[in-house]
Structure 1
Amino acid sequence: MDQPQSKIEKLREEGENIKQALREQVFGYILGAFGLVAGLAWNDAIRSLIEYLFPLSQNTLWAKFFYAFVITASVVLVGMYFSRLFKKGDEKL
């Protein structure tokens, strides 16, 4: 008689674990979406700054390539940092 009750309890526990995992995933997606919006806002601001500093009569193409290079290098460096940080965190577990 005890066995069906333990199976029901186990199913409830699994349901709670799935709910928690789903909440964490949705939170991650929402946070990523806000990050994308913030990134697009910064992109627009920096583009406007480049256009202000280098009017169309000057060579804006090189300024945009420089901007793209700096942003790419920054993203790679931050990605490497977080990758190492998470590897260290996994080793502690």
Structure 2
Amino acid sequence: MVRKDIENVRREFRNQIVVLITGAFAFTAALFWNTAIKNAITHFIPAAESWYWDMLIAVVVTIIAVIATYLVAKFAERGEEKK
């Protein structure tokens, strides 16, 4: 019983480490994409219209993030049901 608990703690610890490392890589990639998108917008859109495009892009990215989060949550639920 104690061995099973220890193994569960180890497995959960390993899973959390994987999540943290994956999150760190995702955050790093997001920072690079942020810079690339900002530079592209600055190149193609005049500064006078910048605020409009900033708002539009923020809304679009938020919608995409919400949809992606929903899909990932559904995927995780499906994995839990199989156990």
Q: Which residue of 2 aligns with 1:23?
A: 14
Unaligned runs of 5+ in 1: 1-9
TM-score, normalising length: structure 2: 0.82
Aligned residue runs from structure 1 range 1-93, under 5 A: 10-56=1-47, 58-93=48-83
Where has structure 1 moved over 4 Å in runs of 4 or more? 10-13
Report percent identity of matched pairs.
29
- Cα deviation, 1:7-47, whole Å, max 9, x if unaligned, reads xxx54554343233212211210110110111111111101
TM-score, normalising length: structure 1: 0.74
Unaligned runs of 5+ in 2: none
Structure 1 range deviating more: 59-68 or 13-22: 13-22
Distance verdict in 2 for CA 1:42–1:23, change over 3 Å: same
Distance verdict in 2 for CA 1:20–1:84, change over 3 Å: closer
The structure having more radius of gyration, on CA atoms, is: 1
Alignment RMSD: 1.8
The structure showing larger relative contact order (alpha-carbon pairs under 8 Å, at least 6 residues apart) is: 1
